[in-house]
Structure 1
Amino acid sequence: MSTSERPGNRRGLAGKPGDFVEFIDIQKTYDGETLVVKNLNLSIRHGEFLTLLGPSGSGKTTSLMMLAGFEVPTQGRIELDGRRINDMAPHKRDIGMVFQNYALFPHMTVEENLAFPLQVRRMPRADIEQKVERALEMVQLSQMRKRRPAQLSGGQQQRVALARALVFDPKLILMDEPLGALDKQLREHMQIEIKHIHQKLDVTVVYVTHDQSEALTMSDRVAVFNDGVVQQLATPTDLYERPENAFVAQFIGESNKLRGVVSSQNGKECIVNVNGHGDVRAVPIRANGPGNKTTLSLRPERVRINPTDGVFTNQFDAQVEELIYLGDHTRARVSVLGTDDFVIKLPNAEGVPDLAPGSPIRIGWKPEDCRALDWS
């Protein structure tokens, strides 16, 4: 993560070339005491799909609502395409909005729902018909134009809501947990649909979700929120492979957590003593030198069982506690380094591992796959 993307760092007021949305020193409080959003400085590029990801109460939805105009910042300013929009009414911002509950007009047909935002803008009838037809084709609902929302499935209603947000050619689309009400299979299908539509259009998307896999699947970049602060802003690959702190490591995907004290450290590697049970070599990200506490983060799929001696500098004796078969992989919970909650993901591509609870095993991993982060 670059310096300009670290939590709390102030971005230049002019932003960078290509920046389309700017949150500049934004703070938000509802009661005058507790800050829901703290000193937010965030730039969003034109044509980018940016996801605001975080747990409930982290500030992500409040940030989206301030951009939409439904909430007003307590401090700071928001710019859209170079214009300050803090005091601009929502309907004048030229922003499309997709909500979790769809917000479709139940008494209108699909095509009437799509035509409504164009009629409000007083477009000629011929233009309205053309834009509605194009939007229907985009979401593959041309055959459903005469149906009302109650006659559609949840996925179809969500497509109508998406088409209505796109029909007037906004430069910016905001989506607030738009797939939260759908079942898992349909949600995953709609993720790909929305991603493909975004790739076809010259439109910027700001998407809010608490679903980590959804964020990783759809986004160009993800801003991870916690306690009103962006903890890390990065591509999905960087977030998963190179988390900057313990919160991001635990919130994005699954990660083993080992607590210890740094015994030695140089620029590229540190050695951490884990509760007196063994020394682990790791990459020092937030380790603060010898004698300081740190949290080691290690992805379960990076651990190997019964490795050849000498392959990994980190090798330890362990015992299998539990095995769960999950189709493409087996999840093994093992005891190692004083903890019995260490997880390994074992691929089943060449068959189910020949293990049983109580089995003694040897496990290992590369130092570069283990990150020494802040104490948590």
Structure 2
Amino acid sequence: MSTIVSFKNVQKTYDGENLVVKNLNLEIREGEFLTMLGPSGSGKTTCLMMLAGFETATHGEILLQSKPINRIPPERRNIGMVFQNYALFPHKSVAENLAFPLRVRKMAKDEIARKVKRALSMVNMDKFANRMPGQLSGGQQQRVAVARALVFEPALVLMDEPLGALDKQLREQMQYEIKQIHEQSGLTVVYVTHDQSEAMTMSDRIAVFNNGVIQQLASPSELYEKPENAFVARFIGESNELKGTISSIDGAARCKVKLDGGHDISASAGPSIREMGLASVSLRPERIVVGEAARACDNVFNGGVKDLIYYGDHLRVVMQVCGRNDFIVKLPNDGAARQLRIGDSVNVGWMADACRALQ
């Protein structure tokens, strides 16, 4: 798969002292859906704005289809953009909003009509061509914004928190629709969000940002199953984090960790585990076994049930385990789980491969 965008040693500072983006090297593949994910202030939106041309890199170079674009203005980059606030012209109809970027490009009237019709069809808004934006719901306005970004058939589409203003149900529906449009069109999409579930649902790859640096770039499943550091483990999904010290290393795959409370556990070794020293162990709540079945696990401890929270499809159990009072276990809502009571003392276990030691 060829590369469509390259960031080469890109830096960005607004005050000349503090780097918002630090030595970014990133290649985006043609046709992929890549998400820049991270907390507020992590540098993800700044990267998107530099790619769009609304911000200028302080250092380094950005290439689009192998051509440097640092000095090319936004309107000449052939990039579609979808914003959170839709940015539709309120005095123009839906069709006129879509026609605007085509008129700017001086296309013929019949070609404009054909492209507008095709773009509206892609987002199932054919019947709303003559409506004004104020007559549409939030979800419909967002579909129009997506259609406008697609209408001139750009090389690349950028989306900056496009679903942030929608309610949960509509947001999930739009996630599916945007992903479907991506798959059907073959476009390259670069998407920015701070919502990890949104990123996991939609992306081919995710670049996890923190403090202006990509902490890990990988598929959703690899980020979840094999985080490379403690930040990624905390930020992607939910995780119990146990602090301790590496006591032994068994090749490149396994290690022993002595927890701060004195307990010993076996864990898979993250890529940063190369020597003895402080470490944190990441353990997903759904990988934990409770009751008699826990005895067959590599790591077995006694746990006290402190709270039970009913979520419908699963029970969230707050336990006291290994000196932690906020140890979380997720259990399927079956007969065995429903027998637990607050105050119970039970076996708690997990396999070594279910937890990951990170430094």
CA positional deviation for 1:284:
1.6
For residues 176 and 363 of structure 1, what CA distance do their matches in structure 2 show?
Answer: 42
For residues 205 and 117 of structure 1, what CA distance do their matches in structure 2 show?
Answer: 19
Superposed CA offset, 1:147-183 (max 9, x none)? 1111000000000000000000001000000000000
Q: Any conservation in 2 of the 1:257–1:298 contact (CA below 8 Å)?
A: yes
Aligned to 1:35: 19
Aligned to 1:103: 87
Q: Structure 1: where are the runs of 5+ without partners? A: 1-16
Q: How many corresponding residue pairs?
A: 357
- Secondary structure at the aligned position of 1:308 is classed as helix
Which of the residues 108, 121, 133 maps onto 1:124? 108
Moved more, 59-68 or 262-271: 262-271
- Secondary structure at the aligned position of 2:338 is classed as coil
For residues 53 and 202 of structure 1, what CA distance do their matches in structure 2 show?
Answer: 22
Aligned to 1:5: none
Aligned to 1:206: 190
Q: Does 1:83 align with 2:74?
A: no
Aligned to 1:221: 205
- Secondary structure at the aligned position of 2:242 is classed as strand
- Secondary structure at the aligned position of 2:222 is classed as helix
CA positional deviation for 1:64:
0.2
Which of the residues 125, 130, 136 maps onto 2:120? 136
CA 1:336–1:351 in structure 2 vs 1: closer, same or farther (change >3 Å)?
A: closer
CA positional deviation for 1:262:
1.3
Q: Any conservation in 2 of the 1:95–1:174 contact (CA below 8 Å)?
A: yes
Q: Which amino acid aligns with 1:63?
A: C
CA 1:155–1:349 in structure 2 vs 1: closer, same or farther (change >3 Å)?
A: farther
Aligned to 2:246: 262
Superposed CA offset, 1:253-290 (max 9, x none)? 10000001111112121111112431010012133433
Which of the residues 37, 40, 48 maps onto 1:64? 48
For residues 67 and 173 of structure 2, what CA distance do their matches in structure 1 show?
Answer: 36
Q: Which amino acid aligns with 1:155?
A: G
For residues 262 and 233 of structure 1, what CA distance do their matches in structure 2 show?
Answer: 26
CA positional deviation for 1:372:
0.5
Moved more, 303-312 or 270-279: 303-312
- Secondary structure at the aligned position of 1:170 is classed as coil
- Secondary structure at the aligned position of 2:9 is classed as strand
TM-score by length of 1: 0.93
TM-score by length of 2: 0.98
Which of the residues 244, 247, 266 maps onto 2:228? 244
Superposed CA offset, 1:30-79 (max 9, x none)? 00000000000000000010000000000000000000000000000000
- Secondary structure at the aligned position of 2:341 is classed as coil
Q: Tell me which stretches of 4 or more aligned residues in structure 1 moved more than 4 Å.
A: 349-352
Aligned to 1:322: 307
Q: Does 1:364 align with 2:341?
A: no
CA 1:309–1:51 in structure 2 vs 1: closer, same or farther (change >3 Å)?
A: closer
For residues 333 and 21 of structure 1, what CA distance do their matches in structure 2 show?
Answer: 45
Q: Any conservation in 2 of the 1:320–1:334 contact (CA below 8 Å)?
A: yes
- Secondary structure at the aligned position of 2:54 is classed as coil
Alignment of 1:134-173 (within 5 A): 134-173=118-157
Moved more, 312-321 or 352-361: 352-361
Moved more, 115-124 or 277-286: 277-286
CA 1:201–1:342 in structure 2 vs 1: closer, same or farther (change >3 Å)?
A: same
Q: Any conservation in 1 of the 2:138–2:166 contact (CA below 8 Å)?
A: yes
Q: Which amino acid aligns with 1:265?
A: I
Q: Which amino acid aligns with 1:177?
A: E
Q: Does 1:283 align with 2:294?
A: no
Q: Structure 2: where are the runs of 5+ without partners? A: none
